[in-house]
Amino acid sequence: MKPLHPVMFAGTGSDVGKSIVAAAFCRIFLQDGYHPAPFKAQNMVLNSYVTPEGLEIGRAQAVQAEAAGISCHTDMNPLLLKPNSDHTSQVVLNGKPIGNKSAYDYWNRNFQFSILNSQLKKEVCAAFDRLASRYNPIVLEGAGSISEINLRETDLVNMPMARHAKADVILVGDIDRGGVFASVYGSILLQSPEDRKLIKGIIINKFRGDMRLFEKGRRMMEDICGVPVLGVIPYYKDIYIDEEDSVCLANKNCHLSTVTCQLNIAVVLLRHISNFTDFDVLERDSRVNLFYTNNPKDLSQADIIILPGTKSTLDDLQELRHNGCAQAIQLAHRDGKMVIGICGGYQMLGQTIEDPEGIEGGIARLPGLGLLPIHTTMGAEKTTKQVTFLFEGQECKGYEIHQGVSDTNEAILQTDHCIGTYIHGFLDNQPVIEYLLGKTNVQCSMFNVQCVEDFKEEQYNKLADHLRQHVDMDRIYQILTSHD
């Protein structure tokens, strides 16, 4: 089988669908007999995942690795930035945190060039080279927009990475948000002549309506850009792929259900919420109306309340006290409602949280909600590992990513109406879901649930089929095997 060039899916902006398109091509290449692997040099996101080695990467690359049929590895996302606030991020290099940096320091040219840039560039290029020696093709994902010319000299993930990888670049534009001609044309025109030559095609994503209405537009885009449009992908609603970007939270359900046979499960909407993919399985359960809220009245009417993970536990706990959610959660628990805390949410349910070293910021100590008998101390060391555990006598699995240590060795701490756990993916396990739903007063019908692994496989195949229908795979293979 002829080897393929690396291919990069770059974007006209954030949330245009690069991650999903890259996952789709990972599955397509796998189906066609290749041995693909995903790669994103630098990712900025709160939704992360743990590799089998116990190291941390962006969740999108873990999803893309699943689509490619391989285990995830830090070489697939060697540099991860996890925002602590609007101004600072934790820098995770090759799966391990190396410190916090302000956005100004990280992107400032003099600081970057003198301290970080050469080291980070060397690390991300080495990670790519290791992957490329083992897999073919490498499916690269860009970050944000490729036309942020003010960041060009410090960019590690877009066109400089494409140059190092000698990748064919396919530009993804989102027609749903409007202005797709300007965004695609501008993204290409703002490249240097050298980088412009790397852009071999355009994919228009999230099209709604009759595809025939865009035929003229497709020809016009090819004429003005001088680059072929390789596909126009319709918007879909019936394919479920894990997403990592908090932008998609805006599209989540935020309303109580009035259907009497449905359980209302409220996820507390924290300002620094992380790993919200913990709730995807519950969200698909027809017995459940899962919704996100920071409204105390909505929380009081929910059947189950979940406090999710957060990157800033103390800051979010303080906000819960200010907006009345803390009191609403305590009252709901007092009334016999089930309350669940995951990761940072678990810490909040305890007696106290202390941060003597200022790991999270300026808040040194806060009382917790007092629902669980634990005390937590923040520290510099970060726990990252995959775990298996028993629940109701059945083996389950998940993963841990957390800063801070609680004074209990229990991965899961349970009382009559409260469960706290450090385990992400806890709610992906059917024994856990059936236990929780059985603890409420709402009568739900039996529900046959497909196991998570089988469901994901089905979704990756559906996604691949969807793209095959709407992109020119023959032309893409020609591009990826040409000698130009």
* Catalytic position from the list 73, 272, 333, 424: 424
Q: Are 167 and 160 in contact (CB under 8 A)?
A: no
Alpha-carbon distance values, 382 to 106, 222, 270 (Å) = 22, 49, 21
Distance of CA 291 to the CA centre of its chain: 19
Give CA–CA dist 39/7, Å, rounded: 10
φ, ψ of residue 324 to 5 degrees: the values are: 90, -5
Taken in order 441, 443, 446, 449, the sign of the CA dihedral is negative
Q: Does residue 52 have a cis bond before it (omega within 30 degrees)?
A: no
343 in catalytic set: yes
Alpha-carbon distance values, 210 to 207, 215, 352, 473 (Å) = 9, 10, 57, 22
Give CA–CA dist 243/414, Å, rounded: 29
Q: What burial letters (b/e) apply to 76-85, b meaning 16+ CB within 10 Å? A: bbbbbbbbbb
Residue whose structure tokens are 């979940």: 306
* Strand, helix or coil for residue 297: helix
Q: Are 303 and 263 in contact (CB under 8 A)?
A: yes
* Catalytic position from the list 26, 225, 325, 343: 343
Which of these, 303, 298, 240, lies nearest to 269 by C-alpha position? 298
Give CA–CA dist 129/145, Å, rounded: 24
26 in catalytic set: no
Q: Which residues are catalytic?
A: 343, 424
